A and B are shown apart, each in its own frame.
Chain A
């Protein structure tokens, strides 16, 4: 059984740039969620996708957007990067009927300079 994998693991961007983070879901999972974790804090929900549609969104501006593909893999796109976007971005897959039981990847560490 393949777990959740994320890429890239680390990246550095400058203010105003755009970034795309990628995630492959665990085999058999149909739902993917993205969380932002700032240093020393708990993860914060960005959004969730199910059947390629957004299925819930947290308190993040529209410059955070996502996609889910037919094979359940996913992308997180962030436009017009700000310094406060520096964080660990965590992708998690799950089954829709087991809400909250998330299987996380190791995350993508984004640094915005």
Chain B
């Protein structure tokens, strides 16, 4: 069965610090998709990124960057120069057969001003 582990339950940083959220996954599939979602206090999850297992290039979008390493089954997410608005719960997820997203337990990020 697919599994996603986010070992960091909660992280607190001061504004402008860089922060990395870890994600480790397990799958027997050779082709798979990985995702990150953000859940602000309002509740709705916001899609951030989808990554195909064939594409190991790192991706950068503004202050966000993602590091995908197949060798270690990791898909880590870094926020550069964090801001208070980045405070949220962040979920890593893996797409399983049947269109099912398997989510990790989430990491609570608190950014203090």
Contact = CB atoms under 8 A, between A and B. Distances in A.
Interface in B10-53: 33, 35, 37, 42-47, 50
B103 A99 contact: no
Interface residues of A, number: 28
A53 interface: no
A107 B105 contact: no
Contacts of B104: 42
B79 to A, nearest CB: 19
A42 B95 CA distance: 14
B93 interface: yes
Interface of B: 4, 33, 35, 37, 42-47, 50, 91, 93, 95, 98-106
25 contacts: A33-B99, A33-B101, A41-B106, A42-B4, A42-B91, A42-B103, A43-B101, A44-B103, A45-B100, A55-B99, A56-B98, A56-B99, A58-B100, A90-B43, A90-B44, A100-B33, A100-B95, A101-B47, A101-B50, A102-B47, A103-B47, A104-B44, A106-B43, A106-B44, A107-B44
Interface of A: 4, 31, 33, 35, 40-45, 48, 55-58, 88, 90, 92, 98-107
